[in-house]
Structure 1
Amino acid sequence: MTAHIVHIVHRFDTGGMENGMVNLFNTLSPQRYRHTVVALTDYSDFRQRITAQPVEFHALHRAPGHGLGWTVRLWRLLRQLKPDLVHTRNLAALEAQFVAAAAGVHATVHGEHGRDVFDLHGRNWKYNLLRRAARAFVSNYIAVSRDLESWLRQTVGVSPSKLHQIYNGVDSVKFHPRADARPAVLPPGFADADSTVFGAVGRMVEVKDYPMLTRAFIQALRQSPELAVEARLVIVGDGSARAACMELLAEAGMAHLAWLPGERHDIAALMQAFDVFVLPSKNEGISNTILEALASGLPVVATAVGGNVELVEDGVTGRLVPAGDTENMAQALLGYLGGPEAPARIARQGGNARRQAEQRYSIPAMAEAYAAVYDRTLSGRRTTR
């Protein structure tokens, strides 16, 4: 019998959480599960990446604020869909657990994929009050990192018996190291064979802190101006910080050394055009872009926050730097520039990165771990604590 799972998210758009959902839908057997996605606000064309089975989408167009009209619409929709299991993700969708209970759904999962800038460390007492109130309605929890798993246990008070840590998987066939010349996806003349391209991919929002990366790139080249002939910066993604980063580069006279193309959909090819991947976030769950960079054979320079410290081994697969620390980030970038030791460091750490991606972060292993939680949830009755 095929189990019907309804996945409830705040919004389904370009992002790491959504990418993980797409990988899950494209991997789990449609004979075992069928999926419906309910976005409390709206969804985007990102859903077109789901190719292995049809997935129905619904948007509730929840308005900002504390109105409760969306709860009635969700209750009616759940009564219509009759799911076997409801899976909510992150704080913004957690209230849907109460609606699912009212609609008679007795098998539920809640996933924590990371925290946003308004509560970087999960300490907001109002949010945690909501999380604790929801514990009785959640059958099982999934945390994408050990950091989030520990926080759910120690701060939210989730019983260890209901807690499951599952790393995201990465497609190591789609994302792989470049074999020959740099692919022609960068602007003509922007980078040649001797360039070192620092690449970043992600939503350009406050929590990702791309202005810090931009300032670090500028500081590194002011410290060693002779390296400007070699160093290039690419930040792929759209959001409120994009204009600020472009302004910083223009004011420094370095706009010609950087490319900020906005949102792109050829990420695998772009990764092959990079030499080093950089993630300057203030906090992270488990970054899909880091996983894709590792699979692409790139050293990763990342801030030592959240799940980043679980993915990047300092000095082995890249570098870890303190969050918000422009000086340390600049020094980390300089470590991959100039002199014969830099290319050797990139090659060595990139090789280590690829091996780690292949051995630890396969999509089939991730999908089976989710399936095990779904099956356990479907076969048992909800326990309270």
Structure 2
Amino acid sequence: MSKTKVLHIIRRSEGGMKKHLLSLVRLLDKEKYQIAIFCSFDQETQEYLKGLGIQVFEVDIDDGINFKKDYKAIKSIRKIVSEFKPDIVHMHGAKASLVGRIACYNKPVKSVVTVHNFLNYNNMNLYKKKLILGLSKILDKKTSQFIAVSNALKNDLILNQNVDKNKIKVVYNCIDTTFYDETSFDLRKELNLPENSFVVGSIARLIPAKGVQDLIKAASILKNINAYFVIAGDGPFKEELQKMIEGLNLKDKFFLLGYRRDIPAFLRNLDVFVLPSHEEGFGISVIEALNEGIPVVATKVGGISEIIEDGINGILVEKGNHIELAKAIQRLLTDEELRKRLSLKGKNSAEKYSCKKMVEEIEQIYDSLKGR
């Protein structure tokens, strides 16, 4: 029996979307599927993918709208689709799904779109917004299958994009530590912190939507307790956040550590994990923290509310409320029994986010499409 050819398309990414794709293509049955990827990942990642027997085509897909670059990307995709002749084109994220579906519009392929985040038009002018909404409406009708990584995203597709609910399948992301460095280290020694101090941390891309600014304000409220705050992650908001830290006299209490590949070991150094996002399609870092047995405080947004049950396996707070955030952190730091209870419940609840389950569900979608 011939293999099903699947072409994945993804924009430049370093967050949950990239983790999801790498886990998926690593575990897809290579006896059943011939896989290719259109991406602009770093050379190390591309070589890793080629080592798995995956064809890699390099293309630069911008996050925003750039007509010249987007036209070039569409032409490149059309060329590869004609040469590779995929049965299924699987696109990840809003931008890749836009250029990918335009490129494949009149091609004899089944199209799959995985929705990882809520659409955000805040930085787009009215003309571009109208254009994108109009194109999306046409393309959505031609899309064979949508995959949402949370029920919150599925509901958003139905309510705000009028996508037929029967065309949407929810497939949760998974915990996959394969791509991290498994080194052990002592963060307190690394940062010269007192041995008996608490460490509160987060993993986040440094953009306003991740709410790190709220955690900085919460840390200012808690500056007189024996707690220190650390963020693993980088991004365009870093300089502004650093100024905020210095302005609140927190430079000896709050540390922006930059991008790190030792995430499991980083998490094991924390007493409390915080994700203060203003919007979140799913929240892979939350399930990673739960898996390591770290008590979680997170905002009540998007897919996070599907992972965290308030007071059972974590604590939920309202987004943008740094006072409530500070109270929740202080409550955990001063109640060892609560930390232990949430740690145990959290670790148990993380078990359902297995990569085997995620891949099996996506393979079922591929197989059903081939029969249509």
What TM-score does the superposition give when structure 1 sets the normalisation length?
A: 0.86
Counterpart Cα distance in 2 of 1:15 and 1:303: 19
Which of residues 195, 198, 205 is equivalent to 1:196?
A: 198
Shift in CA distance, 213/50, structure 1 to aligned 2, threshold 3 Å: farther
Partner of 1:383: none
Partner of 1:55: 54
Counterpart Cα distance in 1 of 2:229 and 2:49: 31
Partner of 1:30: 30
Shift in CA distance, 320/130, structure 1 to aligned 2, threshold 3 Å: farther
Alpha-carbon deviation of 1:134?
0.9
Counterpart Cα distance in 2 of 1:173 and 1:74: 29
Please, which runs of 5 or more residues in structure 1 have no aligned partner?
176-181, 381-385
- The answer on 1:295 being equivalent to 2:281 is no
Shift in CA distance, 172/69, structure 1 to aligned 2, threshold 3 Å: closer
Counterpart Cα distance in 1 of 2:193 and 2:316: 26
Alpha-carbon deviation of 1:77?
1.7
Shift in CA distance, 50/345, structure 1 to aligned 2, threshold 3 Å: farther
Instruction: List aligned pairs for 1:6-25, cutoff 5 A.
Output: 6-11=7-12, 13-25=13-25
Instruction: For 1:282, give the aligned amino acid.
Output: H
The aligned length equals 358
Whether the 8 Å CA contact 1:217–1:333 is kept in 2: the answer is no
Whether the 8 Å CA contact 2:175–2:353 is kept in 1: the answer is yes
Counterpart Cα distance in 2 of 1:266 and 1:33: 31
Counterpart Cα distance in 1 of 2:9 and 2:318: 34
**How much identity, in percent, do the aligned residues show?**
25
Counterpart Cα distance in 1 of 2:147 and 2:77: 23
Which of residues 323, 328, 332 is equivalent to 2:328?
A: 332
Partner of 1:179: none
Instruction: List aligned pairs for 1:132-147, cutoff 5 A.
Output: 132-147=137-152
Partner of 1:115: 118
Coordinate RMSD, CA, aligned = 2.5
1:272-313 superposed Cα distances (whole Å, 9 cap, x missing partner): 111111111111111111111111111211111110111111
Partner of 2:235: 239
Higher relative contact order (CA 8 A, sep 6+): 1
Please, which runs of 5 or more residues in structure 2 have no aligned partner?
124-128
Shift in CA distance, 5/158, structure 1 to aligned 2, threshold 3 Å: same
Partner of 1:97: 101
Q: What SS is found at the alignment partner of 1:94? A: helix
Instruction: List aligned pairs for 1:309-324, cutoff 5 A.
Output: 309-324=305-320
What TM-score does the superposition give when structure 2 sets the normalisation length?
A: 0.88
Instruction: List aligned pairs for 1:95-244, cutoff 5 A.
Output: 95=98, 96-102=100-106, 104-115=107-118, 117-118=120-121, 127-171=132-176, 183-188=185-190, 190-221=192-223, 225=224, 227=225, 230-244=226-240
Counterpart Cα distance in 2 of 1:143 and 1:119: 22
1:80-136 superposed Cα distances (whole Å, 9 cap, x missing partner): 12111101122212221121133x23211011111265459xxx6654433221122
Counterpart Cα distance in 2 of 1:367 and 1:107: 18
Alpha-carbon deviation of 1:202?
2.2
Counterpart Cα distance in 2 of 1:240 and 1:156: 29
Which of residues 74, 78, 91 is equivalent to 1:88?
A: 91
